[in-house]
Amino acid sequence: MKRISLLIIFAATLTASCNKYLDTPTPKTEVGDEKVFATDQNATSAVTGIYISMNSLNYLWANVMMNFLAGIHGDDVYYASNFEDYDVFKQARLLPNSTYVERFWNAIYSYIYTANACVEGLTASTTLTPALKDQLLGEARFMRAYFYFYLVNMYGDVPLVLTTDYRVSEKLPREKTEKVYDQVVEDLRAAKQLLGDNYPNGNRVRPNKTAASAMLARVYLYRHEWALAETEASAVIGNGNYELLKDLNSVFLANSREAIFQLQSVNVGGGRNTWEAQVAIPANATAGPLFRLDTINLIRKFETGDARLANWTGTRTLASGATYFWPAKYKVRNATPVQENTMLLRMGEQFLIRAEARIRQHKLDDGRSDLDSIRLRANLPKLNTALTQPQLLQAVESERKFELFAEWGHRWFDLKRTQRSTDVLGPIKGAEWQPTDTLYPIPAYAISTNLNLTQNEGYKK
């Protein structure tokens, strides 16, 4: 990825658009300037700038925070000490002015603004190499879909912004989640047509056609479109460029054959690899981990012999005698050259998507076979062939918990989409818990600057 001056422009746009809800003071300049999309080099930099900005610093929505803070909101991660900005997630005390409620909203809508600018600029351009134009337009539409998937799962109904014109966007009301999902599917289908099978430059750090299929499989699963989810997941699983790696320690390596789409590690000073490893792995031989795995609700629930416990968690016993675990899917805190990238989409999830989609369609043997693929990789025995559909669906929930912990909020989203949040999280969160806690509140400042916005239930005064 080339870091030319355009990335400075992108950063300025990102900052400006965070100052006020969807406010982009110069909507037809900066990233959206037609000059940016006049040459292949500049247009490529405009699109790849999205990925760079997503992963350039730590504690951003797109790396540490979505992996670990969403885990705190669920039942697999907690923070080492009392910190109010994180405690509100742990204790189900979110408010419309909570720090990360606002930061996540800001960040995602800023990325959407840039994706929209890229879609507009690329569509209007007449000077780009046609094949490259299709590739970049496919990437921009993929990323817009990716961002909206997270918005609706975090906040529910949200404004559907498809323009860079702030005069339109700043007055938009919330759209129903299903309408937003319709746009997500439309963008992903378009991306699937526009993108090629190969990765630009050979590295798996930009989306390709398979990434679009993988994301479609997830979206169809969330929409209960089981047959479509099975079809898209099968297309990914049947692609010979990917595999469910037997070696668990190789899964999160840069460009691993399990990786479908990763974020490149770009801020690599001092040999830094992923931000996840930087903040999860203890800083020295005597330090305790900052983000810890829940011993009661996760660690003790692993089956005996589960290789994921041995390979994807780290452990440290402190001088006090207390033993703590941390998420160790990313193992490289510092190394040159870079060995690991942040994972966004991978094959393990696709097997779990297809398993659930098949079981929901009463294809029990096929669904169980997909679950067995995940279990055998973890050195666990195959499931009993006599399991009923409800029992197999419980097995899906269990395998997703142990396969996808501390990854992109999967556990929190899974409990919500299967209407299991209150049963599972209610006893953990305590008296503060209410079913409406499955969604974040709409940020207070967003409502104050857009009178057409309404607040989620459970957060109204």
The CATH number given to whatever domain includes residue 108 is: 1.25.40.890
How many domains is the chain built from?
1
- Rounded Cα distance, 210 and 204, in Å: 11
Q: Report if residue 343 sits inside a domain.
A: no
pLDDT for 88 equals 95
φ, ψ dihedrals at 335, nearest 5° = -170, 145
Q: Among 324, 398, 406, 328, which Cα is nearest to 359's? A: 398
C-alpha angle 101-106-107 in degrees, rounded to nearest 5: 105
Cβ count near 3 (within 10 Å): 13
Q: How far is CA 63 from CA 59, 60, 116, 244, in A?
A: 7, 6, 22, 23
Query: What is residue 16's predicted lDDT score, i.e. its pLDDT?
Result: 40
> What's the domain range around 162?
1-75+92-195+440-461
Nearest one of 24, 45, 60, 32 to 275, comparing CA atoms:
60
40 lies in some domain = yes
Structure tokens that stand for 249 in this block: 């320690």
Q: Is the dihedral of CA 155, 407, 370, 325 positive or negative?
A: negative
For residue 337, count other CB atoms closer than 10 A to its CB. Answer: 9
Query: 400: buried, middle or exposed (CB in 10 Å: 19+, 13-18, 0-12)?
Result: buried
Q: How buried is residue 340: exposed, middle or buried, by Cβ count under 10 Å (0-12/13-18/19+)?
A: buried
Q: Say how far apart CA 260 and CA 243 lie, in whole Å.
A: 10
Is residue 133 assigned to a domain? Answer: yes
Q: What is the pTM of this model?
A: 0.93
Instruction: Report residues of the chain scoring pLDDT below 70.
Output: 1-33
Per-residue tokens: 28: 């037809």
Q: Is residue 39 part of a domain?
A: yes
Does residue 400 fall inside a structural domain? no
Give Dmax (Cα) for the chain.
Answer: 66
Residue 312 lies in a domain: no
Give the pLDDT confidence score for residue 34 in this predicted structure.
Answer: 73
Asked whether residue 294 is domain-assigned, the answer is: no
Angle between helix axes 130-155 and 99-124 (nearest 10 degrees) is 160
For residue 24, report the phi and psi dihedrals to the nearest 5 degrees. -120, 95
| Nearest one of 369, 373, 367 to 355, comparing CA atoms | 367
Question: Is there a domain that residue 186 lies in?
Answer: yes
Q: Does 337 sit behind a cis peptide bond, omega within 30 degrees of 0 on the bond before it?
A: yes
Quick one: pLDDT at residue 3? 35
Check if the beta carbon of residue 199 is closer than 8 Å to that of residue 48.
Answer: no
Which pLDDT score is estimated for 29? 39
